[in-house]
Amino acid sequence: MIRPIAILVGLGFSIVVLLAFVTGAYTWATEEAQHTAEHEFHLAPHGPEGGFEHDGPLGTWDMAQLQRGYQVYKEVCAACHSLKYVAFRDLAGLGYTEGQIKAEAASYQVPGINPDTGEATFRAGVPTDYFPSPYPNAVAAAAANNNAIPPDLSLMTKARHHGPEYVYSLLTGYGPIPDELTAQFPDFDTPAGLHFNQYFPNLNLAMAPPITADGQVTYAEGNPEPTIRQMSADVAAFLTWTAEPKMVERRQTGWPVLGFLIFATILAFFAKKQVWSSGSPRREHD
């Protein structure tokens, strides 16, 4: 008795899932696109002209760009955004020496414990520490940012579709509301405390433009001019590295592995041909 009931329950479940799938597919195929300001004027992200050095299966890190991006993060983004999954010692991957890493870590104050009283305190960072949050807690972060908590940036380019391009586009996408949008959607507006950005899904973003002028960050001699687009590209590349620091090494390992697998497949094919060949040669009869 139990087996037929189980079969019927399973069959009913399968029918419900199939109906849901068919209904959803039909709705997706026949439903008209929403005619809203967000749908009509939201732009797909794009990267800087010429793309990033790390793009493509043969891409590599541009260490100079990563260091510039870290400088932009430190001088601009770190005021609001944390990098809680990145330790100071990880900066060795950007080409910094041990002494430079110690100096960078010591320039930050990180939470600690007073060994004499046991009370919470702050101390100079060491290479094994992680980048500290600019706010003590989420409540303080929201209070300082119009009730919007700035997200951690450690994995941002992995958390967003076309992450590096999204970061670059968002940083360069602030501006006035286009006249075409106002003409087509008279009721659309950017509320007080928000900022219009066509690369943000609902067009209005709580984050004020962080990079507002060329030369906002001073690069060392020999680097490109620190324009808004250049600084945006540099910090987008840096955040790509924080999200996946071993990306280039993984690609470089993948190509030899792929070559070995192709060679092994060919070798196995000829071995199969040899082992399963058509028996011993026929004997000729007199």
pLDDT tens-digit series, residues 21-37: 878 777 767 766 667 88
Is residue 1 predicted with pLDDT exceeding 70? Answer: no
Residue 61: predicted pLDDT: 95
What mean pLDDT is predicted for residues 222-232?
Answer: 96
Is residue 140 predicted with pLDDT exceeding 90? Answer: yes
- φ, ψ of residue 177 to 5 degrees: the values are -70, 125
Is residue 114 predicted with pLDDT exceeding 90? Answer: no
CA 272 to chain centre: 45
What mean pLDDT is predicted for residues 95-115?
Answer: 92
Architecture of domain 37-86+131-248: Orthogonal Bundle (1.10)
Q: Is 214 in contact with 229 (CB distance < 8 Å)?
A: no
Q: Is 91 in contact with 129 (CB distance < 8 Å)?
A: no
Q: Is 77 a known ligand-binding residue?
A: yes
Q: Domain ranges in the chain?
A: 37-86+131-248
Is residue 183 predicted with pLDDT exceeding 70? Answer: yes
Residue 277: predicted pLDDT: 76
Q: Is 80 a known ligand-binding residue?
A: yes
Return d(Cα 167, Cα 199) in angstroms, integer: 9
DSSP three-state, residue 53: coil
Which DSSP letter does residue 139 get?
Answer: H
- For 122, 167, 271, the CA distances from 265, given in Å and listed in that order, are 58, 41, 10
Q: For the chain, give the percent of residues with pLDDT over 70.
A: 94
What mean pLDDT is predicted for residues 226-242?
Answer: 97
Q: Is 207 a known ligand-binding residue?
A: yes
Task: Quote the tokens at residue 120.
Answer: 């919470």
| pLDDT tens for each residue of 39-49 | 889 999 999 99
